Amino acid sequence: MDYLEALGQVIREVRVAAGLSREGCAQVLNRDHLAKVEQGRLAISVLKLYSLCECLGISLSLVLMAVEARMVGIDLEAYRHQQERDLNRLVGAGLLSSVINHGASRGVRGKRAEDNRLAIQTLQTEGLAKMEIVRRLGVSRATVDRYWLKR
> What one-letter code names the amino acid at 23?
E
> What CA–CA distances, in Å, run from 80 to 1, 17, 46, 69, 84?
21, 21, 22, 8, 6
- The predicted-structure confidence for 13-44, as pLDDT tens digits, reads as follows 999 999 999 999 999 999 999 999 999 999 99
Q: Is the pLDDT of residue 106 over 70?
A: no
pLDDT at site 112: 83
Could you tell me what percent of the chain has a pLDDT over 70? 95
Query: Domain ranges in the chain?
Result: 3-76, 105-147
Angle between helices 3-17 and 60-72 (to 10 degrees): 130
CA geometry: angle at 42 spanning 39 and 44, to 5°?
Answer: 110
Q: Is the pLDDT of residue 103 over 70?
A: no
- The predicted-structure confidence for 37-95, as pLDDT tens digits, reads as follows 999 999 999 999 999 999 999 999 999 999 999 999 999 999 999 999 999 999 999 88
In whole angstroms, what is the distance from residue 65 CA to residue 84 CA? 11
Q: Is the pLDDT of residue 136 over 70?
A: yes
Cβ-Cβ contacts under 8 Å for 24 (sequence gap 6 or more): 15, 55
In whole angstroms, what is the distance from residue 133 CA to residue 126 CA? 11
Question: What is the separation, in whole angstroms, between the first and last Cα of the chain?
Answer: 66
Cβ-Cβ contacts under 8 Å for 114 (sequence gap 6 or more): 103, 106
The residue among 84 and 102 whose pLDDT is bigger is 84
In whole angstroms, what is the distance from residue 2 CA to residue 104 CA? 33
What's the residue count for the chain?
A: 151
Pick the CATH number of 3-76 from 1.20.140.160, 3.40.640.10, 3.30.420.40, 1.10.260.40: 1.10.260.40
